[in-house]
Structure 1
Amino acid sequence: MKFKRILKYLLFLLLIISLGFLYSFSSKRNSDKKVSEIIIEFEDGDNNFLTHSMVNKLLIQKNKTVKNQAKSVIDLYKLENEVSKNPYVEKSSVFLTIEGKLKTVVKQRAPVARIITDKDSYYVDKQGVKIPLSNNYSARVMLISGVKNIEDIKEIMPLISNILKDDFLKKEIIGIQKSDANEFQFAVRSGDYKIDFGKLSEIDIKFKKLKAFYNKTFEDKTIQNYKTINIKYHNQVVCTK
């Protein structure tokens, strides 16, 4: 009985050693395997600012492409960080597949407005993060002028968000001008008239007034009679012809 117990123990120990050897051998073989292919995917099929070639050029290690390099020397964290630093990238994920392919999934920043200043022009996304202009893609977004610094951008983002969440306003308002008095005026798609919005107060109430005024003047076709539509005063819409 004692001999059988010892034999079972030795067989079990031998099995553990064999499995450990096979695992070690398999791991060593896998780590020596070279990257066979680089796959780049854009999340949600969004491929605007960046191209596959541009992302591929970011996947560099020791001044050369990671393709045909051993999996064991690939620094995934560093590669992912390099891709994420690109100003057009909101987030990225870089990983190796079992087949030895290096896969990169990129979510690009989505511009919601274009800021125009005397010295510069750039996009901002919904978080107010700056996005440089691109030769590959021109976004059709609202044009914002009169904004001078990051504080101005933070101030105007709630107004932009309110416009974008409304299907009608999103199509209708094509430009926003900020004055030195911190008041805002809109350019619209449906005519040459301007909308004086005033300061950033009672935003929801002002937009309700504007939409009610639109409903009436679109119906009787008098909207084109006006040069400015002023909604900054409480409980009234003041128009000039």
Structure 2
Amino acid sequence: MNRKLRIGLKLFGWIFVLVWLIYGLNYANKTYNSTKCTAVNVRVIDSLQVKLIDAKKIHKAIISSKNSPIGMPIKSINTYKLEQEISKMAAVRDVQIFKTASGEINVEIKQRRPILRVFNAKGQTYYIDDAGKVLPHSSGFAANTIVASGNIREPFRIEPNFDISKYADSSVGGKQSLIYKLYKFAKYVSRNRFWNAQIEQLNVQDPNNVEMVPLVGPHVVNLGDLSNFEIKLKKLKLLYQKALPTEGWNKYSYINLKYKNQIVCTKNIYYGTRQ
């Protein structure tokens, strides 16, 4: 086979591939333009970690709305607008929507992650998520978090998505807000496997006396004003690991960590007595 014939065959082959590719793209484009939405699939990506959003309820809300995408040409569906609508839900952190050539819409949702539930002095209750933003409490969901209650008075109005990190700086209002300290404590605990399994509740007597209720043992722990709480928890962990297994978890009713370089323990008056 001479050189000119080989070049001609190769050129013909490339032209054939190019024509077939253009035809295929045109056919796919025409098919896509005429395809209508037949299904909406909703997936909550982190549903095993947090259970604030019900995928079935989101699905029902989408297909039953007046702007339901079902039956609409897939090309004309505005996924950005649909994402914006879903993002208005308080528990939604992020939402991504994708269209498929087969006529389906896939909705992927990430939830906000509450780390603290607050019952304040006014009788209000709400969550704070791991980003430091207020998440309204709803009867439609519940989160397994530390609970803080008692004499908690916020220096701001409780509103959805309010960022409490604005009160992290001690220059705001003259001192760092108690609610921000509670948030930082809860965030630390949520990331610590040991303490996340130990701490259940915080009782605020006043900003200088925050009491911690552990899951194990009948005692209450006074953390003081939550300053240097990491150091205080390290001391408490040593007490848990070294002393209490020997002395008994029921020996103390009150453990005070508010004083520097010491732990003051109050014995349970019923410890060691017969009923």
Superposition TM-score, scaled by structure 1 size: 0.82
Q: Which amino acid aligns with 2:38?
A: S
Out of 137-146 and 59-68, give the one that drifted further.
59-68
Q: Which of 39, 42, 63 is residue 41 of structure 2 equivalent to?
A: 39
Please state how far the C-alpha of 1:24 moved relative to its aligned partner: 5.0
Q: Which of 70, 74, 77 is residue 77 of structure 2 equivalent to?
A: 74
Instruction: Tell me, yes or no, if the aligned pair for 2:44 and 2:53 is still in contact at 8 Å.
Output: no
Distance 1:232 1:95, change over 3 A: same
Please state how far the C-alpha of 1:48 moved relative to its aligned partner: 1.9
Q: Which amino acid aligns with 1:216?
A: K
Please state how far the C-alpha of 1:43 moved relative to its aligned partner: 0.5
Out of 149-158 and 202-211, give the one that drifted further.
149-158
How far apart, CA to CA, are the structure 1 residues paired with 2:71 and 2:208? 57
Instruction: Tell me, yes or no, if the aligned pair for 2:42 and 2:107 is still in contact at 8 Å.
Output: yes
How far apart, CA to CA, are the structure 2 residues paired with 1:219 and 1:24? 75
* Other-structure match for 1:99: 102
Please state how far the C-alpha of 1:58 moved relative to its aligned partner: 4.5
Out of 78-87 and 111-120, give the one that drifted further.
111-120
Q: Which of 187, 190, 196 is residue 164 of structure 1 equivalent to?
A: 190
How far apart, CA to CA, are the structure 1 residues paired with 2:145 and 2:230? 21
Deviation string for 1:146-195 (max 9, x for gaps)?
33324443332221122223222112111112333343210111233211
CA RMSD of aligned residues (A): 3.0
Distance 1:22 1:222, change over 3 A: closer
1:148 paired to 2:174 = no
Superposition TM-score, scaled by structure 2 size: 0.73
Please state how far the C-alpha of 1:29 moved relative to its aligned partner: 3.5
How many residues are matched? 233
Q: Which of 125, 128, 144 is residue 124 of structure 1 equivalent to?
A: 128
Deviation string for 1:25-66 (max 9, x for gaps)?
642431231011111111044372222232124436982311
How far apart, CA to CA, are the structure 1 residues paired with 2:81 and 2:73? 16
Instruction: Tell me, yes or no, if the aligned pair for 2:117 and 2:126 is still in contact at 8 Å.
Output: yes
SS of the residue aligned with 2:206? coil
Q: List runs of 5+ in structure 2 lacking aligned partners.
A: 1-10, 155-163, 168-177, 268-275
Distance 1:172 1:101, change over 3 A: same
SS of the residue aligned with 1:59? helix
* Other-structure match for 1:65: 68
How far apart, CA to CA, are the structure 2 residues paired with 1:55 and 1:217? 51
